[in-house]
Amino acid sequence: MLKIFISSINTPLGHSIYEELRNDDVDPENCHRIYATLDSSDGTTPPEGTYEVIHADRKKEQLKIILDCDIVILDLHTGDLEEFEELLKRFKDTHFSSAKTVILISNVFTWGDTPEKTISADEGVSVVEESKIETSQDLIQTENLPGKKKKRFVPFDDTECIMRRAYPKYESWKNIENLALTCNKNENLRCYVLCAGIMYGLGEIIFSQHFMSAWLGEIEALPFIAPGDNVIPTVHITDLARMVAYILAYPPNQRYIVGCDHSADTQLMIVQAISSAMSDGKVKAVDFVDVMLENWSEYLSLHLLVNTSPIFDDPAHPMEWHCSKGIVSCIDLLNQEFNSFRALRSVKVFVTGPPVSGKSHYSRKLAEKYSVPHLHISSLIHEILQSSSELGEKVRKKLADLKQHMIEEAESKKKKNQELDYSKFNPRVPEDLVCEIVKWKLNSNICRNRGYILEGWPRKFEDAKRLFTKEDENLDKDIYPDSVIIIKATNEFLIARAKSMPEQMVLGTHYNDEGMKRRLQAFRDANIPDKQPLIEYFLSHKSETIEIEASVEEMISLENIEKFIERNGKPFKFTPDEEEKAQEVLMQLESVRNLKEEESKRVEQGNNVEYLIMMEQMRARENNLLELRSQPVRNYLMEKVAPAITEGLFKLCKDQPQDPVLFLAKFLKSKSITK
């Protein structure tokens, strides 16, 4: 049994380290005792098997427990740097009678300001190093400058850690790394620095904004910071946790270890992969100054060529990698992890029913409710005709051929001197192509990830079988609907509803008497009980269905439909719907009103101290509401002022003048559009 301390155990990395080190499932009688602290900003709970959580207000007890542990794991990403520094100094000054191991998890920003390592083009490179260099087109770069030899940029390795230069923001991290390395002079104490790549996977927050934007599909293209050719060292959270376990299982002689995957993905490659896997593949270049306030800008602008430590690929006992090849190669797996970790359950619904039964109305309502695409045949055909895809070209060619055939046939039958209006020749898309179009859309990233509301098609048993069956004759579960909604009504009710519709809605449609009779007959013929009606297909696959009477009040029907769709749990959404937003605003206003009422009471009572406190609370609440209205001003400052100030600060840092304020003032004056 070992005593293990894990800082910030409730973070995704903390959870993963816990899972790698726990042994209660193997040896329940002698399971490790795992002590931990929590990351208060995360808000999640520790794993159930945690022996004891040490709270922040128990400083002395915390120090005593940590010094008594056999293994101590400190994560700089979420820990208190001052506490870690004090703790490492205690480790350094304490004599231990038994073996102890400390692993300090840092990150590659402690290398962020290191000048790139170059060699001349004709200089020899080892076979191992050369193979790693060739993993990316961006790792081999050449310069052809007059009077200079051609150079090539190569990765650093862990033995060159003494050369590392940190970004100013991470200088304190580097100092703590160095302090940890000096602890190794202490007998019975092994202290490792595990310098991690930029973390991805599971519940990380660095790339999550791009994953979320792609999942929602609410922006035209995912942003990358131009030019996008910077190489970002990365590591999956699971692999980083396994590296911790590996170091403990096979203690290496070296004390500074680089923990990255084997990729050499550039920023643009990463953003492109996320967009292609979860959205429509569109990306756009942005300037750093335009996104400098985004929490991801710092990470995506990093450029560093560094190899992971070779200990993890020791042929004698290689580590089992989860994502050895990085984000781009493992993007499908990361897509699944993103959905499952956040419980992003897709909403896939098929709505069927006779004409004028309310299919379109309910489908629109459901699409808005669950923030998923509303798929209607006419809109899908319009979309594919605008598409540059192979299917789009196939549909355009087929319609052109059909139209030409219709014209030729009409020409052969027309009377002498008869003029034909070619604009009226509008062929229908054949059912087999309609099936291809619908399947194309259902297989799009947005429908596979978020779901869809499919309205009105397929209409027949055979169409459904063709649509939801894969080439190997198995059901295509990735696009198959989870819920089937059947709207029912009599012909008399539907015809009466069509007649009651406003004239402008009926004009140019099939909702006249003749059109309604024809369409109703076609629907009934496709749904004769003893001739494989459409619903029979879904029942044969044990699909859950709900029948709704078109004559029932809309509010009641919609409530029943939503309960049916949410029968296995309410789908998670990143953004609140309008009802939730309105409720939040009402709660804020109610809170402000209550504070004002309490303020009046306290004024009457003459309780000045409490009065001032209540005033401050009221102002804070009101400021939060005013903050929402200040966005235009903020946008103005970001567009008109921030670029010049940022450029001036960069130049200020570079030149370091004696009077920095005067220097900056003159620079800003030079940038004024009115000299």
Q: Give the CATH number of the domain where residue 537 resides.
A: 3.40.50.300
Question: Is position 623 within any domain?
Answer: yes
Q: CA torsion sign, 49 to 52 to 57 to 63?
A: negative
Question: Is position 514 within any domain?
Answer: yes
Interval 595-609 mean pLDDT: 56
Q: What is the Cβ-side half-sphere exposure of residue 106, based on CA atoms within 13 angstroms? A: 32
**pLDDT higher than threshold 50 for residue 126:** no
Mark whether 202 and 266 lie in a shared domain: yes
pLDDT band at 132 (very low <50, low <70, confident <90, very high): very low
Question: Is position 406 within any domain?
Answer: no
Mark whether 237 and 95 lie in a shared domain: yes
Q: pLDDT by residue (tens digit) across 39-62? A: 887 677 889 889 999 887 778 888
User: Comparing C-alpha atoms, which of 619, 622, 602, 620 is closest to residue 611?
Assistant: 602
Residue 475 DSSP SS3 = strand
The pLDDT assigned to 71 comes to: 96
**pLDDT higher than threshold 80 for residue 174:** yes
**pLDDT higher than threshold 50 for residue 315:** yes
End-of-domain residue from the set 108, 136, 154? 154
Mark whether 144 and 102 lie in a shared domain: no
**pLDDT higher than threshold 70 for residue 607:** no
The pLDDT assigned to 474 comes to: 92
**pLDDT higher than threshold 60 for residue 255:** yes
The pLDDT assigned to 499 comes to: 84
Interval 611-621 mean pLDDT: 60
- Domains contained in the chain, number: 5
pLDDT band at 146 (very low <50, low <70, confident <90, very high): very low
Question: Is position 351 within any domain?
Answer: yes
Give CA 317 to chain center in angstroms. Answer: 34
**pLDDT higher than threshold 60 for residue 29:** yes
Which CA distances in Å does 143 have to 152, 352, 657?
A: 7, 64, 32
Cα angle 622, 624, 626 (rounded to 5 degrees) comes to: 70
DSSP state of 672: -
Containing domain of residue 604, as a range? 578-629
Q: pLDDT by residue (tens digit) across 183-196? A: 987 788 999 999 99
In which residue are the tokens 């966005």 written? 631
Interval 574-583 mean pLDDT: 51
Tokens representing 317 are 């006992």
Question: Is position 73 within any domain?
Answer: yes
Q: Give the CATH number of the domain where residue 89 resides.
A: 3.40.50.720
The pLDDT assigned to 675 comes to: 45
Mark whether 38 and 150 lie in a shared domain: no
The pLDDT assigned to 617 comes to: 61
Residue 432 or 117, more confident: 432
Interval 224-240 mean pLDDT: 96
End-of-domain residue from the set 154, 180, 211? 154
**pLDDT higher than threshold 80 for residue 411:** yes
| Mean of pLDDT over the chain | 84
Q: pLDDT by residue (tens digit) across 82-93? A: 999 999 999 998
Mark whether 300 and 331 lie in a shared domain: yes
The pLDDT assigned to 619 comes to: 63
pLDDT band at 631 (very low <50, low <70, confident <90, very high): low
Interval 301-309 mean pLDDT: 95
pLDDT band at 488 (very low <50, low <70, confident <90, very high): very high
The pLDDT assigned to 240 comes to: 97
User: Comparing C-alpha atoms, which of 164, 40, 21, 155 is closest to residue 106?
Assistant: 164
**pLDDT higher than threshold 60 for residue 151:** no
DSSP notation for 149-188: --EEE--B-GGGGGG----GGGHHHHHHHHHHHHGGGSTT
pLDDT above 70 covers a percentage of the chain that reads 83
Asked whether the beta carbons of 263 and 327 are under 8 A apart, the reply is yes
**pLDDT higher than threshold 80 for residue 235:** yes
Question: Is position 381 within any domain?
Answer: no
**pLDDT higher than threshold 80 for residue 242:** yes
Mark whether 166 and 265 lie in a shared domain: yes
Q: pLDDT by residue (tens digit) across 543-572? A: 999 999 999 999 999 999 999 999 988 876
User: Comparing C-alpha atoms, which of 123, 363, 362, 135 is closest to residue 233?
Assistant: 135
The pLDDT assigned to 130 comes to: 37
The pLDDT assigned to 219 comes to: 81
Interval 409-423 mean pLDDT: 81
Interval 295-305 mean pLDDT: 94
**pLDDT higher than threshold 50 for residue 327:** yes
Q: Rounded to whole angstroms, how far apart are CA atoms 160 and 396?
A: 60
Question: Is position 413 within any domain?
Answer: no
Mark whether 642 and 539 lie in a shared domain: no
The pLDDT assigned to 55 comes to: 84
Per-residue b or e along 27-66, where b marks 16 or more CB atoms closer than 10 Å to that residue's CB: eeeebbbbbbbbbeebeeebbeebeeebeeeeeeebeebb
Mark whether 544 and 666 lie in a shared domain: no
Mark whether 42 and 133 lie in a shared domain: no
The pLDDT assigned to 310 comes to: 95
Interval 207-219 mean pLDDT: 86
The pLDDT assigned to 144 comes to: 43
Interval 375-397 mean pLDDT: 94
Residue 280 or 241, more confident: 241
Q: Rounded to whole angstroms, how far apart are CA atoms 556 and 558?
A: 6
Among 142-151, 178-187, 232-241, the range of highest mean pLDDT: 232-241
The pLDDT assigned to 573 comes to: 64
Order of strands across the sheet with 33-36?
Answer: 52-53, 33-36, 3-6, 71-75, 100-107, 189-196, 256-259
Mark whether 181 and 302 lie in a shared domain: yes
**pLDDT higher than threshold 90 for residue 198:** yes
Mark whether 596 and 499 lie in a shared domain: no
pLDDT band at 534 (very low <50, low <70, confident <90, very high): very high
Interval 278-299 mean pLDDT: 91
Q: Rounded to whole angstroms, how far apart are CA atoms 257 and 309?
A: 6
Question: Is position 387 within any domain?
Answer: no
The pLDDT assigned to 13 comes to: 95
**pLDDT higher than threshold 50 for residue 364:** yes
**pLDDT higher than threshold 50 for residue 136:** no
Mark whether 182 and 36 lie in a shared domain: yes
Interval 422-433 mean pLDDT: 89
Interval 387-399 mean pLDDT: 94
The pLDDT assigned to 516 comes to: 82
Interval 206-223 mean pLDDT: 87
